[in-house]
Amino acid sequence: ESTRIDVVTIFPEYLEPLNVSLVGKARARGRLDVHLHDLRSWTHDVHRTVDDTPYGGGPGMVMKPEPWGEALDAVLAAGPADQVPTLVVPTPSGVPFTQELAQELAARPWLAFAPARYEGIDRRVIEEAATRMPVVETSIGDYVLAGGEVAVLVMVEAIARLLPGVLGNAESHRDDSFAPGAMADLLEGPVYTKPAQWRGREVPEVLLSGNHGLIARWRREQAFARTLANRPDLVGRWQLGGFDKKERAA
């Protein structure tokens, strides 16, 4: 089965990387059905205007509601008649985009993305859309991009690699940093490949030992150490019960 993805943007060419690598292959294999739409095709003036000055004053411009409204109508009409998409709105003021949210979205058959430019989209567009479909406003991190297209690339890639049949090895996302289960609130530790010696540096001996129990314990220790060093905020979420579960799962 195939996950349908619609993206409405003023820069469809910004989404070109969706043809490359893992996401491109998922499309080629029919796991992802991606439709890009140019927001300006729903403008009706010669300048194809999508923005205007903000009510209440202040710097910057705001995206006009009319083109977005018509674009979302068209997206709704283009997909399966018995379904509505989940509308994903990238915005720095949204809930954090996490591995957990990626999993939740990967389970849905149809996603529509509304990446904005300028200071964002007129609020009424989001409110009106929410009367017709589920809406998720989400941020990919605590910084401000010039537009939401890069955020869409980030999210589609995170979602695509969770779809069944997209990754060569279905197990390979199970041990990722943040993966629900044993890796929840944990970062993955360092990884190594051949040769065993390189520029005078050796691969940690335990990894060559063939002892799966020792290797699992070493990886767990590395994951704890790296999380303590780089993400003390995650350590605050460790719970004794959860810790036990990690021990058992590892």
**By CB under 6 A, residue 67 contacts ligand SAM:** no
DSSP label at residue 79: S
**By CB under 6 A, residue 135 contacts ligand SAM:** no
DSSP reduced 3-state for 149:
helix
CA 239 to chain centre: 26
- Is 142 labelled a binding residue? yes
d(CA 174, CA 109): 22
Number of residues that bind ligand SAM (CB under 6 A): 19
Helix, strand, coil: what percent of the chain each, to 5?
A: 40, 15, 40
Q: Is-catalytic flag, 92?
A: yes
DSSP label at residue 121: B
Q: Is-catalytic flag, 161?
A: yes
CA 80 to chain centre: 23
**By CB under 6 A, residue 24 contacts ligand SAM:** no
**By CB under 6 A, residue 125 contacts ligand SAM:** no
**By CB under 6 A, residue 93 contacts ligand SAM:** yes
**By CB under 6 A, residue 140 contacts ligand SAM:** yes
**By CB under 6 A, residue 116 contacts ligand SAM:** yes
CB 62 within 8 A of CB 54: yes
- Is 144 labelled a binding residue? yes
Tokens at residue 120, please?
Answer: 């964002």
Residue from 3, 9, 43, 91 binding ligand SAM (CB under 6 A): 91
- Is 140 labelled a binding residue? yes
> Which range of residues in 11-19, 40-48, 100-108, 135-143 is near ligand SAM by CB under 6 A?
135-143
CB 111 within 8 A of CB 84: no
Interface with ligand SAM by CB under 6 A: which residues? 90-93, 115-117, 119-120, 139-141, 143-148, 151
Q: Which residues are known to be catalytic?
A: 92, 119, 161, 176
Known binding positions: 140-145
